[in-house]
Amino acid sequence: ELLSSRNISKEVLRSFVKITSGCNNYCSYCIVPFTRGQETSHPMTSIVKKITEDIANGVKEITLVGQNVNSYTDPETGGRFPELLEAVAQIKGEFWTRFVSPHPKDVNRQMVEVMAKYKDKLCSWIHFPLQSGSTKILELMKRTYTQSEYLEKVKMIRTILPDVFLSSDIIVGFPGETNEDYLETRDVMEKVSFSIVYSFIYSPRRYTPAATMGDPCPLAVKQDRLEKLQLHAKETAFKENSRLVGKIERVLVEKKMPDGRLVAKSTGNVRVFFEGLDELIGTFVNVRVLEASRSSVVGVLKPAESC
Ligand code: SF4
């Protein structure tokens, strides 16, 4: 039945599995702890059972979801996020697992080592929200890490998982952000080289501490900063996507595009376009990557027998 639903929708079957709800972090700009309450985690046994059923029903990509997904703690055993990742990776079947959104403070060596150990099941992609590259602004945001701690973690991640792709969220124009603070963010972007950046101009949320912070910076200045940052992000995206050129990537085929090509995702969450038959939708195939752009790569299908 689920297989036919895949054929009807002509899209890969995905499952989003909520592992935590709420958040205890109280970042000064965020409303989530007020609207969703304190963090709670679901038992590991029920998460593993749900994913096992999903895989049996044809799901090919699991996304573990939580406001602060990697602060997961099993309420039954006290097991932490790396142990959950390992338990998921040991489920039989051909599938990929991603997770959103981790908090940098909870990204640790054990988590990255598990990702490296089970590369066939755990995607080499980490969404690693920076928010600001200035330690002064990070403190005002109550993000609980400094610029150097963030960069140290990036170094640790890239040492253990050299092929990893990192994406991020960045807020421009947080109250008190000077041009120097902004340039520090740009500097961190250059050092890390994100493949995707979701960037926004800060906007106040009721009830949050940041909403009462004075901010003399004009909107036009913030817009200019955002525009330049987004151009910069496109350059690093192109650089990151170009890493795949000439390589053979295992990709999960998602759907057919209006122009007739297939679109797939790589383990690093890069969109890959190539020519192929509809039957490949929902399967893993190998693609030789020929060229990169700022938003995707283009390749050709590599026949399985010649891999
Ligand atoms: Fe929690 Fe994320 Fe909101 Fe911070 S930004 S309070 S980590 S949900």
Kindly report, residue by residue over 132-175, the tens digit of the pLDDT: 999 999 999 999 999 999 999 999 999 999 999 999 999 999 99
Kindly report, residue by residue over 88-102, the tens digit of the pLDDT: 999 999 999 999 999
* pLDDT at residue 60 tops 90: yes
Looking at residues 208-236, what average pLDDT do you find?
94
What is the pLDDT, as a whole number, of residue 216?
81
Burial of 263 (0-12, 13-18, 19+ CB in 10 A): middle
Ligand 1 proximity of 30 Cβ (cutoff 6 Å): yes
Ligand 1 proximity of 26 Cβ (cutoff 6 Å): yes
Kindly report, residue by residue over 5-17, the tens digit of the pLDDT: 343 456 778 999 9
Identify the residue whose C-alpha is closest to ligand 1 atom 4. Answer: 27
| Span from the CA of 75 to the centroid of ligand 1 (angstroms) | 21
Residue with tokens 């609980």: 144
* pLDDT at residue 185 tops 90: yes
**Which atom of ligand 1 is nearest to 103's Cα?**
7
Question: What is the DSSP pairing of strand 284-292 with strand 262-266?
Answer: unpaired
Name the percent of the chain lying above pLDDT 70.
95
State which of 28, 30, 144 you would mutate to test the pocket of ligand 1, scoring each by most atoms of that ligand within 8 A of its C-beta. 30
| Span from the CA of 68 to the centroid of ligand 1 (angstroms) | 7
State which of 36, 67, 137, 168 you would mutate to test the pocket of ligand 1, scoring each by most atoms of that ligand within 8 A of its C-beta. 67
What is the pLDDT, as a whole number, of residue 13?
87
CA dist 57 and 1 (Å) reads 9
pTM: 0.94
DSSP for residue 208: S
Q: Which of 247, 283, 69, 252 is nearest to 163 (CA)?
A: 247
CB distance 31 to 205 below 8 Å: yes
CB distance 240 to 126 below 8 Å: no
Residues 6+ apart with CB under 8 A from 151: 188, 191, 192
Residue 280, both tokens = 């490949």
Q: Mean pLDDT of all residues in the chain?
A: 93
**Which atom of ligand 1 is nearest to 68's Cα?**
7
Q: Strand (E) positions, 153-236? A: 165-172, 196-201
| Span from the CA of 33 to the centroid of ligand 1 (angstroms) | 7
What is the pLDDT, as a whole number, of residue 12?
74
**Which atom of ligand 1 is nearest to 36's Cα?**
8
Q: What spatial distance separates the first Cα and last Cα of the chain, rounded to whole Å?
A: 32
* pLDDT at residue 112 tops 90: yes
Looking at residues 40-50, what average pLDDT do you find?
96
CA dist 115 and 213 (Å) reads 40
Identify the residue whose C-alpha is closest to ligand 1 atom 3. Answer: 30
